[in-house]
Amino acid sequence: MSSSHNPGELVLRPATELSALLTSGEVSPVALTQAFIDRAKRYARLNAYITLDEEGALRQAAQAEDEIKRGMIRGPLHGLPVAVKDQFDAKGLRTTAGSKIVDYIASEDATAVGRLREAGAVILGKLNLSEFALGGNVTHPYGIPHNPWDETRQAGQSSSGSGIAVAASLCAAALGGDTAGSIRGPSAWCGITGLRPTWGRVSRNGAWPMAWFMDTIGPMTKTVADAAMIFQAIAGHDPKDPNTSSRPLTPFEPERGLEGMRVGVIRESIDNGMATADVAAGVEEAMEVLRGLGATVLDETLPLFEHGGLISNGLADSEAANIHRKFLRERPEDYDFASRRRLMAASLLPAAAYVKLSRFRMLMRRDVMAALGRVDLLVTPAQAEGAPKLPTSTGMTSKEAVMRQYFGLRAHRGPFNLSGVPAMALPIGFTPADPEGTHAGLPMSLQVIGRPFDENRIFQLGHAYQEVTTWHERRPELGA
Amino acid sequence: MPDLTPEEVRTQLSAIGLTPVDQEDLDEITYRINAVNEAVLALEHPDEDAQEPRMVFWLNEEGSNE
């Protein structure tokens, strides 16, 4: 690393900036990897990592350094220290899926992880997550993930470690997984950018499944440009996942402004108390920025919006209950109590209800596609509120509480994972500071939704927004 | 539709080889399945019967402009 670069400052920079410094030879991959390892150890209390592979990462970094010195540059990820959710296999590293039940050394990389390696990225380790990527668990076998903006609060589920690690600069970028909001939710609460790609765009090979027809893998990063860079590396057809599309991938090339772009605000997502006043105001302010960039902002409607959580969770949990049926029978006590109760309840969902929810999934998709025919992109809040306090119980002490807490929480993201379309969480500001002094403001986030395989238009909006705003440049104060 | 009782839920779970760990488990499982059943039953849409459930979208759309 050049003496002009302070490692403590470098790790705070976006991945695209680090990429330029690494591939130009200005910064050493070994020194940068060491800086991220040191920081990950220093802030181990956040519980972002399950496995930090110091030795392996430094070995990969040394190889990258050697290749770069010899001019054998593989691409923009060469030498970049990244980390992956422990839902995905990484050859030679432990996979736990965030559970007490699964624990093995992977013999192969998940395809997305392998593509990062082929692109020259350094795999720092495996990141903490909700048990089996389900979301909703209260206890965590590998430590409670703490939100770096306020350590008394949730980081979001299920890619919690990925959200923390990027926000706290414990890696340059991360991979997360999103079935029903697990990239977008933690990205929103941790104040970072997170893309759920079009279903079928990124291979699911080597990933622990939750619901096969909604599971996706995507980038969680400091900026939109970072997300586009990681997405480009991991996307594309994979014979090991026959449900990946063969459509060609077009590199993202930023343009200035948003002239001619039509953006639709789904009113049901912010009106009538569907988001807090702070979040609703944040969305309106973000729309003003988009108008200033030349976009036309229109009101849009999605009549089934409020049912997004019910349809999404009803279907996803049924799929998950089937996946977990043997473990549930043989090792129920090894699940977190919230996961166990949820999966056992889902095991009893009548087949007729599953079919009905599947029909409503089609209706939701029909409405989402119709809206995306009228505008280029849709927007909603990515989370309806700032990160809540860490839970100590499920709070589901009545049927009404289940309906209120469980279905309502995911309404904002459900319609879009049900529809298989791409959606990205984009930081748009902060809530007011906590009067008790536990935080100086919690991140707020916009969800930007595009047509299938149109990730680049989402990137275009997000990148243009980040060119004229600074929310994505803020970093949490972590103290000692 | 009447709610399932905890004992009915226990019986249904037993039939598929599942056993709640304790009474709190059984109570919450009961709240959850009753909530889903009630919410699904309440879902109504005039076009519901016209929709064929399809799992993978893009396979049918490849090559189209959708």
Residue range A83-122, pLDDT digits in tens: 999 999 999 999 999 999 999 999 999 999 999 999 999 9
Instruction: Name, in order, each residue with C-beta under 8 angstroms of A303's C-beta and a sequence gap of 6 or more.
Output: A268, A367
Whether the CB of B58 is below 8 Å from some CB of chain A: the reply is: yes
Pairing of strands A262-266, A296-300: parallel
- Going from the C-alpha of A455 to that of each of A51, A283, A322, the distances in angstroms are 31, 21, 31
What pLDDT, on the 0 to 100 scale, is given for residue B60? 58
Q: What was the pLDDT predicted at A406?
A: 75
Nearest to A402 among B12, B31, B41 (CB): B31
CB nearest to A402's CB, from B32, B51, B56: B32
CB spacing of B58 vs A349 below 8 angstroms: no
Whole-angstrom Cα distance, residue A245 to residue A440? 44
Q: Using the predicted structure, report yes or no on whether residue B63 has a pLDDT greater than 70.
A: no
Three-state SS at A49: strand
Q: Using CA atoms, how far apart are residues A252 and A249, in angstroms rounded to an integer?
A: 9
Per the CB < 8 A criterion, the answer to whether A295 and A461 are in contact is yes
In this prediction, residues B19-34 reach a mean pLDDT of 97
Question: Which chain A residues have a beta carbon less than 8 Å from that of B37?
Answer: 349-350, 353
Measured distance between the N- and C-terminal CA atoms of chain B, rounded to whole angstroms: 40
Chain B contact present for A451, CB below 8 A:
yes
Which residue of chain B has the CA closest to A212? Answer: B55
Residue A270 to residue A110: CA distance in whole angstroms = 38
Give the span between the Cα atoms of A274 and A290, in whole angstroms: 22
> What pLDDT does A438 receive?
87
Domain count, chain B: 1
CA-to-CA dists, residue A339 to A132, A133, B11, angstroms: 9, 10, 20
Contact B47 A453 (CB under 8 A): no
Q: What is the pLDDT of residue B61?
A: 59
d(CA B61, CA B66): 7
> Is A85 tagged catalytic?
yes
**What is the reported pLDDT for A479?**
86
Within 10 angstroms of residue A447's Cβ, the number of other Cβ atoms is 29
The mean per-residue pLDDT over the stretch A319-327 comes to 97
- Which two structure tokens, joined as six digits, stand for A145? 């993930």
**Of the candidates A371, A389, A393, the residue with the CA atom closest to the CA atom of residue A380:** A371
CB-facing half-sphere around the CA of B36: CA atoms within 13 A: 31
Residue A410 confidence (pLDDT): 65
Range of the domain at B9: 1-66
Banded model confidence at residue A407, pLDDT cuts 50, 70, 90: confident
CB B52: neighbour CB atoms within 10 A?
A: 8
Q: What pLDDT is attached to residue B64?
A: 45
Provide the pLDDT for residue A94.
98
Please name the residues between 317 and 356 in chain A that touch chain B, using a CB distance below 8 Å.
Answer: 325, 328-329, 332-333, 337, 340-342, 344-350, 353, 355-356
Q: What is the DSSP string of A367-416?
A: HHHHHHHHSSEEEEESSSSSPPBPPSS----SHHHHIIIIIHHTTTTHHH
pLDDT computed for residue A3 by the predictor:
53
Residue that the structure tokens 């765009």 belong to: A201
Q: What is the mean pLDDT of residues B32-58?
A: 91
pLDDT for residue A209 is more than 80: yes
Helical residues (DSSP H) of A119-223, grouped into ranges:
160-167, 184-190
Q: Which of A328, A403, A419 shows the shortest C-beta gap to B39? A: A403
Q: How far apart are CA A177 and CA A429, in angstroms?
A: 24
pLDDT score for B66: 38
Tokens 């705070």 sit on residue: A12
Instruction: Give the pairing of strands A81-85 and A173-178.
Output: parallel
What's the whole-number mean pLDDT along residues B34-62?
87
Is A444 a residue whose pLDDT tops 60? yes
Q: Is the pLDDT of residue A330 over 60?
A: yes
Residue A328: list chain B partners with CB under 8 A. 18
Q: Map tokens 């000692």 to a residue.
A: A480
3-state SS of chain A: helix, strand, coil percent to 5?
40, 15, 45
Q: Which residues of A touch B58 (CB under 8 A)?
A: 198-200, 245, 420, 452-453
Q: CB B48 to CB A360 under 8 A?
A: yes
Is there a catalytic annotation at residue A246? no
* Distance from C-alpha of A293 to C-alpha of B34, rounded to nearest angstrom: 49
Active site residue A158: yes
- Quick one: tokens of A355? 């079919």
Query: Does the pLDDT of residue B65 top 60, yes or no?
Result: no
Please, which residues 21-50 of chain B have a Cβ atom closer than 8 Å to chain A? 21, 24-25, 28-29, 31-41, 43, 45, 47-49
Residue contact A362–B51, C-beta within 8 A: yes
* Tokens coding A309: 């959580």
- What residues contact A415, with CB distance under 8 A and at least 6 apart? A302, A304, A305, A308, A312, A364, A367, A368
Q: How confident is the model at residue A1 (pLDDT cuts 50, 70, 90)?
A: low
CB A381 within 8 A of CB A410: no
Say yes or no for a CB contact (<8 Å) between A394 and B28. yes
| Distance from C-alpha of A133 to C-alpha of A336, rounded to nearest angstrom | 12
In the structure, what pLDDT confidence band is assigned to residue B59 with cuts at 50, 70 and 90? low
Q: pLDDT averaged over chain A?
A: 96
Contact status, residue A93 vs residue A125, Cβ threshold 8 Å: yes
- Confidence at residue A2, expressed as pLDDT on a 0 to 100 scale: 59
Q: What is the mean pLDDT of chain B?
A: 89
Q: What is the pTM of this model?
A: 0.97
Mean pLDDT of A40-60: 98
**Structure confidence at residue A217 as a pLDDT band (50, 70, 90):** very high
Return the pLDDT at B23. 97
Strands A49-52 and A122-127: antiparallel
Residue with the larger pLDDT of the pair A394 and A368:
A368
Which one of the listed residues A158, A160, A162, A419 is annotated catalytic? A158
pLDDT digits (tens, 9 = 90+) for A112-171: 999 999 999 999 999 999 999 999 899 999 999 999 999 999 999 999 999 999 999 999
Q: Which of A36, A200, A37, A211 is nearest to A132 (CA)?
A: A211
Q: Which residues of B touch A407 (CB under 8 A)?
A: 35, 39
Determine the average pLDDT of the residues in A282-294.
98
